[in-house]
Structure 1
C-alpha cells in the first residue's frame, strides 16, 4: 500500500483500505505494475496510489467471476441476505471513516459524505430483505393443456461501472442487487475516486463474501479494460452510471454480444415553481436539489422555471441562501460546498456560465471561478437567461442555478420537456391535483412533487429518453440482474 497524504493514515489504520486489484479473492498489483494517483480536489495533493489495471487484469477478473458463478448462483437466498446484512452493519459502524474517505478523494462536504454512507449502506439492507422475497409464478395455460411455471435465474457475470460523484452509493446500488440475485461481478470504479469502492469491497470480504463473487479493477484506461470484459462471451450484464456520451459507446460495444444493459445516464432536471407554491418550501427544496454534492449529481436541478408572480421573491430568497453557503475543503466541518472534481469540471461550468452571460443573462451572485488552490466554483445564480443559452440544454454538474421566468402554465410543459434527457424533475405547487396532472405530462422517470430529494433504495431510480435504460433500487433493480425462465409441464 502506498499512501502519501497523512490525512489518510487514520482511515487506513481503522479500515485497512486496500489499494490493489481484487481478483478471485486476492488483492494483487496490476500485471504491468503501474500505479494510478488519487488526488484531493480541494488541494491537488496526491492522497494515494492504486493499481492501474490493463486488459489482462480485466480478463483475469472475468475469469474469477465466471469460476465463482455456479456456486454463488446455487447459494441459498437467506445466506446471501445474511451476508448483505453484515455488510450493512459494518458500513454503519465505519460511517465516519468512510465519510472522511469520500470527502478527501471526492471533495464533497462531510455532511454530504455522511448522508451518502447512510444511503449507500441502505442498499445492502434493502436487497438483503428483497432478495429472499422473490417469487415465481404457477398457472394453467389458457387452453388447459399444460401448466406454466415461471422462475427467476441470475443473469450471470455482471460488469458494474460506477462514477466518481457518489463513490459509495453508486457501488452499493449495483453490487447489492447483483449479489442478492446470485450474480458474480466485476466492479470498475471511477479513476478519480477508487479508494471508497475498494473500502466497500474490503467490507464485503470481511462480511464473508466468497472469493471471485466481487472483483474490483481500477484503471486509467477504461476503454480497453471495459472493452475486454464486454467482449468476453461469459459476460452477460452491463450496469453503467455515467454520461450519456459514454453510455452510447458502451451500448454499441454491448450490442456485439447482446448483453443485458441497465444504464443511468445524464440529466437536465427542471425545477418548476408555480404561482401558488409555498415559497419557503420551494427555496428549501431548491437548495437540496441544486446543492447536494455541490451540484455534481445527475439528479441536480439544472433549470429553474419560476412563475412571474413569484419570480423576484424566489430569486431574492435563492440568492440569499446561495450567498450564505460556505465553500471550502470537504473535510472541514464548516464547509457546505466542496470543490468540483477537477480542473476540467471548472472549465466546463465556467464555459456554460460565460455563454449564458454573453447571451444576455446576469450573474446575481457568483459567476466566475474562485481564486487560489483547488477546483472551486462559487454558488451562482443567473437571471434573465435566454432560452438558447447552452446552460439550459447541457448538464451543468456544478453549483449554478439558471432561473427563467414564465407566465402561462400552458407553455410550461414545452419548456420543461425541451431536452433529450428525462431523468428527474421537480415541481412545487399548493394544488396536489394540478401537480399530479403536470407530473404526468413531464417526460422524466422521476418527479419530486414538493420535494427536493427523490432518491430512495425502495424506489425505482431511472430515467426516460436519453437518461438511461432500466431501473435501480426497488424490486425493479433486482429484476435487472435476473432472467425469467418459463417451464411448460403437465401433471
Structure 2
C-alpha cells in the first residue's frame, strides 16, 4: 500500500468499519496498475443500517438551526483546506489526474461547501395575505426533503460528493453517499472533514459496493426520500426510473457531448492563439474525463486546415505521466476499460472515413494511458459524433454559416455544456440564445463555479447542482394556513 493512501473504511450507523458483508475489492493506481488498498464493500446488512442511520440523522439534523448548520459546514470547508495536500495526493493516486488539477479540485470543493453553507441561512419562505375572513395567515416554507441517497462518479471524486453533501446538509437533510469504487479514499477523507466539523455521525453514511445492488437497495428503502446521481445518461435513466417508481425526488447530472463554435473573427493572430490555448487545456483536462468536456469543434471551412493542424500539434506536445510528477500535463485514464473504449471509438471513426490527425493509440507503459487524439471530418453517424467518448478525444468539423454551426451543435440529444468564441457582442448573444445547453460559455470554458447552477437539458439530466438552485432541490414546499378556532 502506498504510504500516502489511507486505510479504507466505510462509515455506517455512526461508526467507521471494515467488517462488512460484501467482501473487499482492490483500489488501483491508474498510473501504474498497482494496488493501493482494499476497499470493504457493504452487503444488505450494512446498507439497511445506513438507511436506518440516515433516518435517525435526519430527524436530529433537521432540528438544528440553520445558523448552526452553516457553522458546521464552514468548519468542514476549513478542515478540507487544512488537509488539502493529503486529500489531493490521495485523489491523484486513485484517479490519475495531475496533482495540480487535484489541488484545484479540492480547493474548489471547499468553496462549494462554503457557498452552500451561506445558502443554509437563506432558505426563505413567504407569507401570503388571506383572502377570506377567519384565516389568520398563509405561510409558504421550504423544508428539507428527507434522507438522500447520493451516487457519485469517479472523475471528480471530491468535487461531486462535495456538491451533494454540502447542499443536502445545508438544507437539513441527511445523506447516504456512495462514491465510485475506483476512487473511495478521497471521499472518505471528505466525509471525515464533515464529521470532525461537528455534523452528527448519523447524518452522513458512506457505503461502497456493487453499483447496481447498492442503488436498487437504497432507492427502494422507505427511509430514502430523494435520489441524487452523477453518472452516464444510461445510469441516470435507470436510477431515475427506479426513483419514479417509488415517487421519490430525483436529481440527475448526466453526460454531455459539448460543442465548441469558433467564429471567423477568432481564427487568426492573437485571437486564434487564445482559442487554441483555451481549447487544448479544456479538452485534455482530466484526460477528457469531464462531463462538460469540449468534444466537437466547429470551425469555419476556410480556417479548418490551420486550426486542425495547430490543435493537433498542441495535443501531440502534451506531456503524459503520473499525476504526482509536477511535469505531467495529462495523466492516465482512470481504469483499463476506458482505454479499451477509446480504441473502439478510434476503430469506428477510422472505418467510417474520419481523418486521424493525432494520437489514436494506447501508450506502451504501465498504467492506463491513451494518447491525446484528434480527428477531423468525422461522419455524423460515427460513434464519436453520437456518443460521449469521455476521454482525450476531439473532433474538428467545418461549417459554412453560423446558422449551420448552431444547427450541428444542437443536433444531439445531449445538452449539458456548450462553448463558443467570438469578439462580436451581437454574435455572442445570438450564440448564447441559440445553442441548446444548460450551460453556455462564451470565450471561456469555466462554466462550473460554486455560485452558478450546474445542470443540463434534454437527456443530460434533471435539476441543478451548486448555486442557490442546487440547494432548492433538497427541499420541499410546504404551505401552512392558520385560521381562527371558532
How high is the TM-score relative to the length of structure 1? 0.95
Q: Distance in 1 between matches of 2:249 and 2:234?
A: 19
> What residue number does 2:228 align with?
239
Tell whether the 8 Å contact from 1:288 to 1:452 is kept in structure 2 after alignment.
no
Distance 2:239 2:28 in 1: 27
Work out which of the residue numbers 430, 434, 449 in structure 2 matches 1:456: 449
Kept in 2: contact 1:288–1:453 (CA 8 A): no
2:479 alignment partner, SS class: strand
Residue 139 of structure 1 corresponds to: 128
1:178 is aligned, of 168, 177, 188, to 168
Match status 1:212 vs 2:195: no
1:162 corresponds to: 152
Distance 1:337 1:154 in 2: 41
1:476 maps onto 2:484 in alignment = no
| Counterpart residue number, 2:429 | 436
Partner in structure 1 of residue 118 of structure 2? 129
Residues 442-451 or 383-392, more deviating: 383-392
Q: Does structure 1 conserve the Cα–Cα contact (< 8 Å) formed by 2:177 and 2:206?
A: yes
- Contact 1:30–1:57 (CA<8 Å) still a contact in 2? no
Cα deviation, 1:99-156, whole Å, max 9, x if unaligned, reads: 1111100001111111111111111111111111221111214668744311111100
3-state DSSP of counterpart to 1:84 = helix
Q: How many Å separate the matches in 1 of 2:352 and 2:111?
A: 44
* Residue 320 (structure 1) shift: 2.5
Structure 1: 5+ residue runs without aligned partners? none
Matches within 5 A, 1:195-344: 195-219=185-209, 221-277=210-266, 278-344=271-337
Which shows bigger deviation, 399-408 or 160-169?
Answer: 399-408
**2:342 aligned residue:** 349
- Per-residue CA deviation, residues 376-405 of structure 1 (Å, 9 max, x unaligned), is 111111122222221011101111111111
What is the CA-CA distance between 1:446 and the residue it aligns to?
0.4
Which deviates the most, 352-361 or 237-246?
A: 352-361
Residues 319 and 33 (structure 1 numbering): CA distance in 2 closer, same or farther, change over 3 Å? closer
| 1:115 maps onto 2:104 in alignment | yes
1:75 aligns with 2:68: no
CA distance in structure 2 between the aligned counterparts of 1:384 and 1:144, rounded to whole angstroms: 71
**Counterparts of residues 24-63 of structure 1 (less than 5 Å):** 24-32=13-21, 34-63=23-52
1:23 corresponds to: 12
1:395 alignment partner, one of 372, 388, 405: 388
Deviation at 1:470, TM superposition (A): 0.3
- Give the distance between the partners of 1:172 and 1:148, measured in 2 at CA: 35
SS at match of 1:405: strand
Partner of 1:374: 367
Deviation at 1:31, TM superposition (A): 3.0
TM-score between both structures, scaled by the size of structure 2: 0.96
Residue pair 1:30, 1:54 contacting (<8 A) in 2 also: no
Return the offset for 1:285: 2.2
Give the C-alpha shift of residue 488 in structure 1.
2.1
| 1:288 CA drift (Å) | 3.1
Choose which of 352, 359, 383 in structure 2 pairs with 1:359.
352
CA apart distance, 1:309: 3.1
Which whole-Å deviations, capped at 9, do the CAs of 1:437-480 have from their partners, x for residues lacking one?
Answer: 12212111000111122110100100000000000001111001
- Residue 280 of structure 1: how far off its partner (Å): 2.1
Structure 2: 5+ residue runs without aligned partners? none
Q: 1:288 to 1:490 in 2, by over 3 A?
A: farther
Q: Return the alpha-carbon distance in structure 2 between the equivalents of residues 203 and 164 of structure 1.
A: 19
Q: Matches of 1:25 and 1:203 in 2, distance apart?
A: 14
Cα distance in 2, alignment partners of residues 227 and 388 from structure 1: 34
Q: Distance in 2 between matches of 1:119 and 1:341?
A: 21
Deviations 1:412-452 (A, max 9, x none): 22211111111010111111221211221211100011112
Deviation at 1:189, TM superposition (A): 0.4
Please state whether the residue corresponding to 1:235 is helix, strand or coil: coil
8 Å CA contact 2:240, 2:252 repeated in 1: no
Calculate the aligned-residue CA RMSD, in Å.
Answer: 1.5
Measure the CA separation in 2 of the matches of 1:413 and 1:294: 27
CA distance in 2, matches of 1:40, 1:235: 33
Preserved CA contact (<8 Å) 1:281 1:450: no
